[in-house]
Structure formats: C-alpha cells, structure tokens
Amino acid sequence: MANTKHYTELGLTNTRDIFKKAMAGGYAIPAYNFNNMEQLQGIIIGCVESKSPVILQVSGSARKYADPTFLPYMAMGAVQMVKALGAGIPITLHLDHGNTFELAKSCIDSGFSSVMLDGSHHPFEENAALTRQVVDYAHEREVTVEGELGVLAGVEDEVSHEVSHYTKPEEVEAFVEKTSVDSLAISIGTSHGAHKFKVKPGEEVPPLRFDILEEIEKRVPGFPIVLHGASSIEPEYVKMINAYGGKMDDAVGIPAEQLRRAAQSAVCKINIDSDGRLAMTAMIRKVFAENPAEFDPRKYLGSARDELIKMVKYKNEKVLGSANKA
Ligand SMILES: [Zn+2]
C-alpha cells in the first residue's frame, strides 16, 4: 500500500491503557460508529464536553462509504480538532467486524490503532487461527485486537444472524490463550440493529445473561470484555421519527440500567451505533417536517449533529460512566 502510515503519526492510541483504566475504574469506554463528518464531529464534541476517552469505530462498509484513503484523515482531523479545543482525550480508531486478514491488515497499514477480527461464524479452531494471524500482524505494530466468541442476533453492516448463540464460558480461556487477543466480544443477549427483541407494548425485554458474563469473568479475571449491539433504541427518538413521518414501530433496545450494570463489570467497551443513527434521523425528519422549504444541508445536518452531541454526553455521563475519565 503506497499510503502506509502508523496510527501514532495520526495522534491515535490503541486500547491497552484505556481498557486497563476502565477495568480498574468500573466503567466502559464508548465505541461510537461513524461514516461521515457530522457523525464524527458530534461524537468527538460530545466526548470532549464530557471529558471521555473514545473509540471511533467503522465497519468495512462504512470505511468503503467514507473512502478508505479519506477515512484515516477524518480521524486525524478529529485528533487535531480535540487539540485545538485544548482537550486531551485519548482517541482510538477501530475496525468493527473485520472478517478477513486482508481487511484487518489494510486498516492497520492505513493508520487504525485497533481492529476487530470477527470469526465468530467459524468453528472454534478456525476462528482462533484467523484471529491469531491478525494478532501476530497487529501486535508487531502495537495495534490492539478484539476477537469474538458467540453469535449475536440481528442485522448490522457486516453481519446478519437470525438467532443468537450465547458465548460458551468454557471456551473463553483457551481462545484468549491461543490468540493473545486484547479484548473479547461476547454474546449474552444483546443484539444488532434497531429491532432487538420482539415484545408487545408494555412487555419487558428479556434481561441480559449476567450469569454467563460472571462465569467468563471468573475464568479470565481482569480480561477486557466487549458488548456489541448495545444501543438502548431511545424511545424518545423512535417516537420523534414516527411523529414526523417515519415508521419504526416495534424498535426496542437494551435498557440503560442493564448497560450500567455491565459497564461496572469486566465489560470495558460498549458499542453504540443504532442510537446515533436514530438521534440524527429523528432531528433530520423534524427539521424537514417543520420547514418543508429548507434545502441548506447545514440546517438539517447541523441539527442532527447537535442532537448527537447531546446523546453522546448522556451516554458517557449516565450510562457508561466514562465521563471525566479522559
Ligand atoms: Zn457488532
């Protein structure tokens, strides 16, 4: 690759120190997905204003959308903006759901400081071998790696599964040992997308399997655990979207109390994608509905960015506990 650069040249950090501090402090680092400028700025400003470390994450298709050459410079722009604001929050650029060695390598070579290799759809041995291959390449360059055991239900950019398969705690030790991964995504009942559970109005969503999480913590004490599919699908945004012409009737997510409990455990990273999408979509719909003649993108994208800042601050302060930890 002609344009090879190391993440330190962009001013980014890997996840080693931030996870160590999160583990000791009983909170989780937010990992927000982005693919455009307003999302990126909303996330960064929200994290600066709440003084939180942040993991900026992109899926393979989000990287393609933003352009693989352009993307690292977006992260670099975020780092420079944070400096200009006089804030010193650590910023990680992370590949979400990498599915091949080549994709992970390409991200590492272009300046990512952390990558996920999701081999969870493969049998254990294949998953471990593929993850190990990425770890070997990544660790030579001080890049950290997230693996995955167990399958989440739901639909995300790179993954789609009908049913979830909970992580088997008895496989975790061997996987961590064989692969030398730095963190592990597990499946305990969270789910990708905006329609996480099929419940009737007023019905409770099924609780996360904290018993599995506790069993995993016992087997690999102090090892950083990651929760995917952990958006709450904030009802106020779903309501707004529906009120302004959208249609998201049975959207439900993970209640904030359960995420708070997870953040205090070995869970060091909580992924939030859908909630950011909902916040922006709700505001864009509102602006268009109330101002049908509006055609300046700054008016609707600017409102969307402002709402995302609010949402990020709320998550960091009230759910993950990462505020004031930068
Ligand atoms: Zn995911």
- Cα 294 to middle of ligand 1, angstroms: 35
| Residue of 67, 96, 250, 273 marked active site | 96
Distance 66 CA to ligand 1 centre (A): 19
| Per-position b or e across 249-272, b if 16+ CB within 10 A of its CB | eebbbbeeebbeebbebbbbbbbb
* Distance from the alpha carbon of residue 288 to the mean position of ligand 1, in angstroms: 31
Q: What protein residues have CB closer than 5 angstroms to ion ligand 1?
A: 228
- Length in residues, the chain: 326
Per-residue model confidence as pLDDT tens digits over 304-322: 999 999 999 999 999 999 9
236 class by beta-carbon count within 10 Å (0-12 exposed, 13-18 middle, 19+ buried): exposed
| Percent helix / strand / coil, the chain, rounded to 5 | 45, 15, 35
Cα of 5 from ligand 1 centre, angstroms? 26
C-alpha to C-alpha distances, 251 to 71, 116, 138, 287, nearest whole angstrom: 30, 27, 37, 22
Single pTM value for the model: 0.96
Is 96 assigned a catalytic role?
A: yes
Model confidence pLDDT, tens digit, residues 146-191: 999 998 877 777 777 777 789 999 999 999 999 999 999 999 999 9
Contact of 15 with 285, CB cutoff 8 Å: no
pLDDT digits (tens, 9 = 90+) for 90-103: 999 999 999 999 99
Å from CA of 25 to ligand 1 middle: 24
